[in-house]
Amino acid sequence: MRVKKIKAIFQFKPFSPKQKKVLTWWCDNSPVKDKEGIIADGAIRSGKTVSMALSYVMWAMEKFIGQNFIMAGKTVGSFKRNVWIWLKLVIIARGYRVKKATEIGENVFIISRKGKSNYFFIFGGKDEASQDLVQGITAAGAFFDEVALMPESFVNQATGRCSVEGSKFWFNCNPEGPMHWFKVNWIDKAKEKNLIYLHFTMDDNWSLSEKIKARYRSMYVGIFFKRFILGLWVLAEGVIYDMFDRDKHVIKDEKLKSEILTNGRLWYISNDYGTGTVFTLGLFCIYKDIRYLVRSFYWDAKAQMKQKTDGEYCQDLKKLIDYIKPRQVQAIIIPDDALSFIAECNKQNIRPVRIYKRLPGSVIKRIRIQANVLSSGKYFIFNDASNEPIIDEYSSYVWDPKAQERGEDTPLKQNDHGKDMEGYFHDSVNRILKVGSKPSGM
């Protein structure tokens, strides 16, 4: 049976003036062709990534033959998902040939055109150990997608490998804090390092309609609006959930509560596990596309001067499960460090347990998701006495000022157990229901 080959087609949209600058700055007739590289930062969905990645490949193929080129994302998977899948379609549509260099590695590709070929290596820069991955390679260029999410050691190692004559650097990212290492050491020193610096907004992406831009503007509040929509490198300070309003978000409608208990189908329990500190459970329901914290369990071992066993905590968990009978819980979300509690749940046949993996960067992701559902009217807490400790934390869950001095966005490690428990729930159900994913920086 003959299989018909499907030709890749990519529909080009008009490029904005700023995107055209990215696409042409390295050309022979450009007044800035001798710059050492380019930085593009700013809002999400502003057209940075598509113009940067395409320009990077075009430059490499125009200027070099048989050289190695670095392409990096926070992880290899995120780079392939956010950049490589569509970039491959774009360059094939422009007449390039793409072939996996399986003899070299799983994430190495040969791009060819008009008798020229070059090697493109995809790397992930997720942690300090990632710098070891790029050691040994000699490259003619490096492109970093979402560079602000990578450790400085990885970027320094990768840029240090670009020793071929005429090599250049390409960086794009959304903003973080003003003391972030990339802001301080690269953007603020762009002139000193002989780099082009371009700031993007959503208006620089001509493929976005006004309706779509309005939707993205509505997705973020506070610090995340300033960074992701306005594209500003601003400080995260003060109360984290400054959009939380007790009069608005804590509801006393017993009729609605009774309706949810009677008709609610999507029930979840989330946990933040502590032995000598705080152990908390939250019973949530998603009803008519709105999330509710119906009831909680909160045990502060220090305040109570008594530490419970995992077996006792399982009994507390069963009480929450029994509270909604005959309804069933869709998932019991437990963080991955609570190994003994997970084992005890399995021993007592408590189902279904869903383990929450706390990956690097997941704290900020959870905060962003929870801020979004609070501000958009998608999350409320019932005025139940069991929920008071969770409600009280909103006034004291704050950013760590010392971490800000290091350029890091980190909550102060206090009064955070309920917030972690809520965050595990919101992030998990977003994954389960496939909603709320972060848009790429394109």
Quick one: CA torsion of 276, 393, 304, 356, rounded to 10 degrees? Answer: -40
CA distance 438 to 427: 11
pLDDT at 164: 97
The total number of residues shown for the chain amounts to 442
Backbone angles phi, psi at 371, to 5 degrees: -60, -35
3-state SS string over the chain?
Answer: CCCCCCCCCCCCCCCCHHHHHHHHCCCCCCCCCCCCEEEEEECCCCCHHHHHHHHHHHHHHHHCCCCEEEEEECCHHHHHHHHHHHHHHHHHHCCCEEEECCCCCCCEEEEEECCEEEEEEEEECCCHHHHHHHCCCCCCEEEEECHHHCCHHHHHHHHHCCCCCCCEEEEEECCCCCCCHHHHHHHCCCCCCCEEEEEECHHHCCCCCHHHHHHHHCCCCHHHHHHHHCCCCCCCCCECCCCCCHHHHEECCHHHHHHHHHHCCEEEEEEECCCCCEEEEEEEEEECCEEEEEEEEEEEHHHHCCCCCHHHHHHHHHHHHHHCCCCCEEEEEEECCCHHHHHHHHHCCCCCEEEECCCCCHHHHHHHHHHHHHHCCCEEEECCHHHHHHHHHHHCCEECHHHHHCCCCCECCCCCHHHHHHHHHHHHHHHHHCCCCCCCCC
CA distance 218 to 170: 30
Q: Which domains does the chain show, CATH number per domain?
A: 17-208 (3.40.50.300), 246-433 (3.30.420.280)
Would you tell me the crossing angle of helices 339-347 and 310-323 to the nearest 10 degrees? 60
pLDDT at 442: 32
pLDDT mean by block of 10 residues, the chain; 442 residues: 44 85 97 98 95 97 97 95 95 95 91 96 92 92 96 96 97 94 96 97 94 90 90 91 94 96 97 92 97 97 92 97 95 97 97 93 92 94 96 93 86 92 97 63 33
pLDDT at 414: 86
Q: Judge whether 121 and 85 are in contact, CB under 8 Å.
A: no
pLDDT at 425: 98
CA distance 219 to 118: 40
Cα 109 to Cα 112, 121, 347, 355, 384: the distances in Å are 10, 7, 48, 35, 57
Would you tell me the crossing angle of helices 48-63 and 17-24 to the nearest 10 degrees? 20
Q: Judge whether 72 and 142 are in contact, CB under 8 Å.
A: yes
Strand-strand pairing, 108-113 and 195-200: unpaired
How many C-beta atoms lie closer than 10 Å to residue 369's C-beta? 22
Backbone angles phi, psi at 31, to 5 degrees: -70, -10
pLDDT at 221: 85
pLDDT at 441: 34
Cis ω for the linkage preceding 31 (within 30 of 0): no
